[in-house]
Structure 1
Amino acid sequence: MTEHIKEFIKQEFYYFHKHPELSYKEFETTKRLKADLEKAGIKIENNNLKTGLIATIGHGKRVVALRADIDALKITENTDLEYKSVNEGIMHACGHDSHASAVLGAALLLKDAEDSLNGTVRIIFQPAEEAPGGARDIINAGGLNDVESIFGIHSAPIFEVGTLGIAKGPTCAAVEKFKIVLKGKGTHAAHPELGVDPLLAASQFVGAVQSIVSRNITPGDPAVVSVTRLDAGTSWNIIPDSVELEGTIRTYSKEARSIAKTTFERMLKGTALSFGVTADLTWVVEVPATDNDANLSEFATKVAKDLNFDVQQSPKSMGGEDFSLYQEKVKGLFIQFGTGHGAPNHNPSFKVDPKAIYPTSVYLSELIKRYLEQR
């Protein structure tokens, strides 16, 4: 039976990779996963999710959750894979296809062992991690109701197959995405005194916010402030009415996150006042840092070593992960699994070695079973 599951999830991985779907558009992926689970006799929970799903295995008051994300990215694939993406301009460049396949395999293995489970397993296939924020939809749909702990996984091209990255505490940064509109008064470029120049204000602001990290946050507490888009003007001889800016703030500690956002807002207000423009700030995305539970980390490490995995310390990343939204509610552990050294995540040449998937399924199923056996 296990050999059947191994081959089955490999073929499902090929399908998911070949048919990637963007955040909140994972309709066929959801349909496929639902059919796979129902065929195995796994119960699909009724909820209001448009994409993604929640399923249940086992019985009992103790509830543990296992989560995979399922969305892809707006990237044109540049690989020689036979199963490369057929959806133009869309690619599973972050490995969510392997996440879904590995958790699907774990679900099938847990279903086979359902009669011996000492509790309930909630299987979560989450939409829109790349949006990010699909975790909120799962939470609002009741995905964490009665859950005491949750485990999640992520592909890691920094590790060879057979290696797991496990760490205590923060491993991915908090993410803030901002959008700013500075409004002034347009005029001829030859007569700037007749207008209010929002582009000049924007230029000063972009330079000023670079001091947030260097002069406001304790050295050694990782933080990044990046303005990544500035959109202004229609002609070389016109001072525009308005300017749009977008970018991101990344932090680890709650203190650094608070300082960075407060200082950012203060600088924006001061810049607007100094240059006579109005400033409209929107925090488009607000996701906290992942924060791995120490006890879960130690437990997961022991299980991994018992199964002869090589266990390494997960490196910290300034990248974000909305698994952290679950960790705000319950204890959680985010685990990296080695997919073979290669191109990084979010790269057109990113690949996952299919050999990494089934061992990860076995590990996850054993992790869940042993967790439920604990008193």
Structure 2
Amino acid sequence: MTKPLENDLHQFFYDLHQHPELSNNEFETTQKIKKALDQHHIKVLDLPLKTGLVAEIGQGIPFIVLRGDIDALPIQEQVDVSYTSKNDGVMHACGHDFHATAMLGTAILLKEREHTLQGTVRIIFQAAEEVGTGALDVIRTGVLDQAEAVFGIHNDPTLVSGIIGCKEGALTAGVDRFAIRIQAKGTHAARPQDGNDPLIVVAHIIQVFQTIISRRISSDENAVVSLTQVHSGTTWNIIPDTAFLEGTVRSFNTQTRQLIENEIRQILKGIEQTFAVKIDLDWQAGPPSVTNDSIWSNFALQVAKESNLQYREVEKSPIGEDFSFYQEKVSGAFIMIGSGGPYPLHHPKFKIDTNIVFPSALYLSNLAESALGFLQKKRK
């Protein structure tokens, strides 16, 4: 079964890669996964999800959850492979096609040994991770209720292909997005005294924001405040009425996250009063930091060792990941799998080393089976 399954998974991966779908529009992807699960007589739960689905193998308690995401990104692919994306302007630049395929392989392997499983495994094929809403949609269905552990995966192009990486505590950053709109008073550039220049305000905001990390956050903490867009004006000789700024905050604990938001609000309030302008802040809180349970993160590395795979403790990363919402309900671990690089996630030349697909499925099936056995022993 091993070689035929490996070949089937590769073909499934190629197909997903060629037909990527954006967040909340993964209709064909969902149907392809469901069809593959049906072919192996794997139960799919009847849930009110627009896209994505949840498979179930085994029965009774304990029960654990595995999660892989399925959505793609609005990026034009530049990878020279035979299975490049056929959907113009859309590609799997984050490797969710690999995540979905690995989870499909896991489901098939677990189904083969279903009669020996000491509990239930639910596998989430999650939509809309890239927009940060998919995990919450799944949680609202109640599919995680009474679960005793949750595991998720993400490929990591900075790691050697196939290596399993994990760490206890914070692994990814909490993600916040902000948009700032400044209403001032435009005038002719030759008579600035007749107006109220929003670009002067922009300059102060940019400068003062950089002091939040350097002067308000302890050097023991990692955090980032990045301004990524500035728009104002229409021509060379007119001072505009308005300006717009946008950016992101990345942090690794709730206290730092709240402190940065408070500082930004206070800074903008002060600048608004100082320059007699109107400043509106649109603060969009995203997923919190992925924070791994110490027992389950060490367990994940131990299973990698027992599966004769390379493994290592990894550093935390400032990327965002909505898997953290699951961890607010159930303890567990988010696991990185080396995908070989050289291009980073979300790059138009990003590519998965397909040699990791089947070993990853085998590892995850071993992880699920071992976790059920571990929880069963705790009951005795």
Q: TM over 0.5, yes or no?
A: yes
Matching of residues 151-162 of structure 1 within 5 Å: 151-162=151-162
| Map of 1:169 onto structure 2 | 169
Using the TM superposition, name which of 191-200 and 330-339 deviates more. Answer: 191-200
Query: Secondary structure, in 3 states, of the residue corresponding to 1:148?
Result: coil
Residue of structure 2 equivalent to 1:97: 97
Amino acid at match of 1:325: F
CA shift digits 1:330-349 (9 cap, x unpaired):
10211111222422211122
> Partners in 1 of 2:82 and 2:92 — Cα distance?
14
Shift in Å, 1:351: 1.1
CA distance in 2, matches of 1:368, 1:342: 30
Q: Report the secondary structure of 1:106's partner residue.
A: helix
Q: Match for residue 274 of structure 1?
A: 274
**Mapped contact 2:301–2:312 kept (Cα < 8 A):** no
Residue 146 of structure 1 pairs with residue 146 of structure 2: yes
Per the alignment, in what secondary structure is the counterpart of residue 6 of structure 2?
Answer: helix
Distance 1:299 1:290 in 2: 17
Match of 2:258 in 1: 258
Query: What's the TM-score once normalised by structure 2's chain length?
Result: 0.95
* Cα separation, 2, equivalents of 1:218 and 1:183: 34
Q: Is the 8 A contact 1:2 1:109 kept in 2?
A: no
Distance in 2 between the 1:48 and 1:202 partners?
Answer: 45
Q: CA deviation at 1:194?
A: 2.9
Task: Give the match for residue 6 of structure 2.
Answer: 6
Q: Which residue of 2 aligns with 1:248?
A: 248
Aligned AA (2:162):
G
**Counterpart residue number, 1:49:** 49
Q: Report what 2:37 is aligned to.
A: 37
What SS does structure 1 have at the residue aligned with 2:148? strand
Deviates more, 1:259-268 or 1:210-219: 259-268
Q: Residue deviations 1:115-147, cap 9 Å, x none? A: 221111111011111112321111122232222
Task: List runs of 5+ in structure 1 lacking aligned partners.
Answer: none
Q: Which residue of 2 aligns with 1:290?
A: 290
**Over residues 22-77 of structure 1, what are the superposed CA-to-partner deviations in whole Å (9 max), with x where a residue is unaligned?**
11121111111111112222222222221111222111132211000111112221
Q: Distance in 1 between matches of 2:334 and 2:40?
A: 27
Map of 1:128 onto structure 2? 128
Residue in structure 2 matched with residue 226 of structure 1 by the alignment: 226
Q: What residue in structure 2 maps to residue 307 of structure 1? A: 307
Partner deviation per Cα, 1:292-345 (whole Å, 9 max, x = no partner): 110001111111101111111122211111111111111021111122242221
CA distance in 2, matches of 1:282, 1:61: 44
Contact 2:75 2:91 in 1 (8 A): yes
Q: Does the 8 Å CA contact 2:223/2:251 hold for their aligned counterparts?
A: yes
In the alignment, the residues of structure 2 paired with residue 190 and residue 83 of structure 1 have an alpha-carbon distance, to the nearest angstrom, of: 58
Paired residues, number: 375
* SS state at 1:287 partner: coil
